[in-house]
Each structure stands twice: as structure tokens, then as C-alpha cells.
Amino acid sequence: MNDEILKWIQEWYLKQTNGDWEHQFGLKITTLDNPGWSVNIDLEGTKLEDVKFDPIKIENSDLDWLVCEVENNKFDGHCGPQNLGHVLKMFRDWVEKEPEQVPGFQDRKEDKVLWKQLGDESGTETCKHSNCSKFALKRSSMCKRHHFEMVMGHPYSGPEI
């Protein structure tokens, strides 16, 4: 592992800090007993929150391997004892590619904001959309999903449906 990747991960961490994020989230690098390394990076509150990551699995030998995945807004990388730099580089490559190169990223962020603002379906009437039996939002004639689709012009694809 070279100094360049360490400098980069330190800079990435510093960019996430805002007086709040670093008190709840962060990154951890620990050792494994097989032997190896474990890298855990919180993505909540970063520009990578809810961005898709394709899992990576490389197995060359008992000491030369790595597995990287994102689950529950956490990047998890596990690797052999000499592959720590490779895991950090995998994370860096993903960060530098995402999310600016992901079509619709800004839309997804705006979608999430509106979805939360709409609140719960706590009205007494049912949704007026055909074949929907959910309750309508308090100040709407539609349920949350159909109201969202009407306003935004596309289906909501976030995790809260």
C-alpha cells in the first residue's frame, strides 16, 4: 500500500466531516483473524447514500483475496493481509465514479426529500387512483405513492415503499 491511497482516504474522510457526521458515522479499519483486514465505511449522509454498488469478489489464494459490498449504506471490504490497499482503491474508484456519473442521481435525492415530506397515509378516504386500496394522504385524494408519481412524473424507486 502506498502513501497516495492513505492520503486520499484521509481527504475523503475530512470532506465528510461537518460537525455532525463524524459524531455518528465514520470509517474503521481492523484486522481479521484469518489473517486479513476489514474496512467499514459509513455512507449515510454522504453523496453515496443509497447509490448502487456491484459487489466484488476476488479469490487468488488463502492470503490473496478480497470481497467488497455495500449493504445498509455501509461499504464493507474484507481482504487478505496484503490487500488492504486494493480494498481502499476499490472504494476510491467507486467514489470517483459515483454519483455524478449515475444518471438521475440528483433526481433520486430530490425524490427522497419529497417522499419524506409527504408523511404518512393517515387520511380517512381511500386513494382515488384506480385499483388502489391504500388510504389517501391527509391533504390529498391519493396515497403517498400515487401522489408522488403525480407530482414528480415518475415512480418512486427509493427504499421506503
SS (H, E, C) 18-53: CCCHHHHCCEEEEEECCCEEEEEEECCCCCCCCCCC
The pLDDT assigned to 140 comes to: 83
Question: Is pLDDT of 117 > 60?
Answer: yes
Question: Is pLDDT of 112 > 80?
Answer: no
Average pLDDT value for residue range 84-96 = 93
Give 28-79 pLDDT, tens digit per residue: 999 999 999 999 999 998 888 888 888 999 999 999 999 999 999 999 999 9
Let me know: does 112 contact 50? Beta carbons within 8 Å: yes
The pLDDT assigned to 60 comes to: 92
The position carrying cell 484469518 is 34
The pLDDT assigned to 98 comes to: 54
The pLDDT assigned to 80 comes to: 96
The pLDDT assigned to 40 comes to: 98
91 vs 105, which has greater pLDDT? 91
Percent of the chain with pLDDT over 90: 46
